[in-house]
Structure 1
């Protein structure tokens, strides 16, 4: 019996338990007054039958693979495998994939002998796990059905289950964020044991290529991150924001204050389509269409060093990409401003443009700031546009026609291909990720402070 069959059986038991709970409560309702409606008795029985068993299956699924590996290694064929961990893991992985039907054969001659052992062990442990889950579902269903009575508070039990599910969903998000932070911190600490923190934070040279021999050029490497963060700020927070903030804010003002409802019905969805275009398409557009024109413009105005890969080309396209983030949130915030504030301003003799500038926009500022923050976060995390239009050179320059790179682009470069996770070159990616995480956190705190201050002024 596979875990899929066990899952289907658990769901079937839950459905039957729910139907029995509903029927039993319905019969009781005909003779006496119930504390909870029959639908709550049905939901209570179904939840008790399903959730504990499903939780067990979720825990058993990853544990089962460990038990299977141990059973295969304990078999006569498994005891003959090489003692070297990497070679043994390669053989086990091939045998596991052949047994699962993912491939027909492997490169290691020992793999075919392990396939029957894997098949047998997986079937055995799947039967054990599935049987336990089914028995657990049956026991929980019987327990929940026996509790059905006129005085039983089924609605309270259902609400507790739902509260537990909501808390679990919240904890998943929190624990995921904590896990990401801890993984970045641990790997970053390993990096800072090899490279001084001062060099990473204040160095102006970035060349993480570590040589294999001391006599090779650049054997010491250079891990100054300032050029990378300057490129990130230059492209994502300066050029892109110069394009996105005015266009996004003005489009939101037009759509909410001036556009005819029929025009708004068509234009708003068309504007938000920009947010759904894949970033690789923006990258192609930046590299093949925008970058050549930017280079030709730079040469035309006398900048001979204008490159076909430039910060200006990437920033322009990135600004177009994030217009919907600013426009949508500004649109919602402006539309949420009470009509009484507009009417009061107009009644005092202010024009429509003055009302927008001095009343509507200040009142909608928290939402506008939130949209700008979201856009900045989206921009500094962009990779494909920078790779295809801005290049990979870590230059610290204010020339928008020069090639620069960003933090996310370098993280991709450092972790692409076969890498040694004990080298400073690879560990530098985690240090860059941690620094970018902290920068984003600071931006969020600043935005929350601004929003709180202005929100208190208008409450």
Structure 2
């Protein structure tokens, strides 16, 4: 008969082997999960690379026929006319003007709403107002466009009768209203992440709630608030339907919001839905314009990254 020590030794070895097998299976499952998560994380990277590849590839075909210097300095944009001109600054001026109007509405109001919800509103008020505010971002943008054209423009014309029916001002105002939830929601989340000890220390020094909110909480949360601003800027630069409906889609080199103008996105929609043959110089303009828009957005994102780093280091 086998000894008791031999039986115990064989049982221990079997348990060790079973434990090693279970550990190996768990490690394989973890590796598989990590691979799936890595693939999911890479989807956005692959998508971005694909978009950049298509834009650059098609834009090189365009710039083989239109010099880059002409594209950057020409003061007219008439690529679909017999006397074709390809000055991207015409579309860039409309994009920047409409974005400036929208941000002049969205940033102050969004920041003020965020301060109220974070520092002054009660729990029930916050839980009621924040979902209602975020519902604005769920309204289709074409509805905002017709709201700007049929309500905001006639309202402004009461004050300024010479305002044309299509103009950048009304489109920018409504676009700013649409962007408010993006700015206010992210800014409010950043402010609520500020440690309560900072607020308590401010109150202990005799500061009021307003002084604490403006001079303590907002500076401490500025990194997140800057991210909200950059998101709002990117949303404004990339908006299409509001400007296509209410701004007129007239390619004018102007920074006056009281005039009609075309933006990069509205021009892309206009050409993409037209009858231009693929491969024609007129059709290739949408890729050059799209590349310009992407570079503009990249500049804003890099600026926002720099701001976040600066305020994170300061606080």
TM (norm. structure 2) is 0.92
Greater Rg, structure 1 or structure 2? 1
Task: Verify: 1:331 aligned to 2:188, yes or no.
Answer: yes
Alignment of 1:36-185 (within 5 A): 150=21, 153-185=24-56
1:453 aligns with 2:310: yes
Structure 1 residues 281-360: aligned runs within 5 Å: 281-299=143-161, 304=162, 306-360=163-217
Structure 2 residue 188 is the aligned partner of structure 1 residue 188: no
Equivalent position of 2:133 in the other structure: 271
Is contact 1:294-1:312 (8 Å) kept?
Answer: no
Between the aligned partners of 1:445 and 1:209, the Cα distance in structure 2 is 34
Output the aligned Cα RMSD. Answer: 1.5
Q: Deviations over 1:214-246 (max 9, x none)?
A: xxxx2xx0110112111101001x100111111
- Residues of 1 paired with 2:223 and 2:23: CA distance? 48
Matched, 1:205 2:76: yes
Q: In the alignment, what sits opposite 2:258?
A: 401
Measured at CA, do residues 190 and 337 of structure 1 come closer, stay the same or move farther in structure 2, by a change above 3 Å?
same
Match of 1:426 among 264, 283, 290: 283
Deviation at 1:457, TM superposition (A): 2.0
Aligned partner of 1:224 among 73, 84, 87: 87
Paired position in structure 2 for 1:259: 121
Task: Measure the CA separation in 2 of the matches of 1:314 and 1:323.
Answer: 14
The answer for the alignment partner of 1:435 in structure 2 is 292
Q: Which has the higher contact order (CA 8 A, sep 6+)?
A: 2
Q: What is the rounded CA distance, in whole Å, between the counterparts of 1:152 and 1:344 in structure 2?
A: 50
Deviation at 1:262, TM superposition (A): 1.4
Offset of residue 422 of structure 1: 2.4
Whole-Å separation in 2 of the counterparts to 1:284 and 1:387 = 10
C-alpha displacement at 1:297, in angstroms?
Answer: 2.2
CA distance in 1, matches of 2:194, 2:128: 23
How does the TM-score come out when normalised to structure 1?
0.64
Q: Partners in 2 of 1:269 and 1:170 — Cα distance?
A: 29
Q: Can you give the 5+ residue segments of structure 2 that lack an aligned partner in the other structure?
A: 1-13
Q: Is contact 2:72–2:89 with CA below 8 Å preserved after alignment?
A: yes
Q: How big is the shift at 1:151?
A: 6.0
Query: Contact (CA 8 Å) 2:94, 2:255: kept in 1 or not?
Result: no
Residue in 1 that maps onto 2:3: none
Deviation at 1:272, TM superposition (A): 0.6
Give the distance between the partners of 1:285 and 1:35, measured in 2 at CA. Answer: 67
How far 1:32 sits from its partner (Å)? 4.4
Structure 1, unaligned runs of 5 or more? 1-30, 37-149, 212-217
Following superposition, the deviation at residue 157 of structure 1 comes to 0.6
2:106 alignment partner in structure 1: 244
Please give the alpha-carbon distance, in whole angstroms, between the structure 2 residues aligned to 1:380 and 1:246. Answer: 18
1:235 and 2:88 aligned: no
Instruction: Give CA deviations for 1:162-186 in whole Å, capped at 9, x if unaligned.
Output: 1111222222221111111011001
Taking the aligned partners of 1:225 and 1:435, their CA distance within structure 2 comes to 8
Give deviations 1:260-309, integer Å, cap 9, x for gaps: 2111111111111001111111112111111222233211xxxx3x2011
- CA drift of 1:351 comes to 2.0
Cα distance in 1 for partners of 2:219, 2:257 equals 33
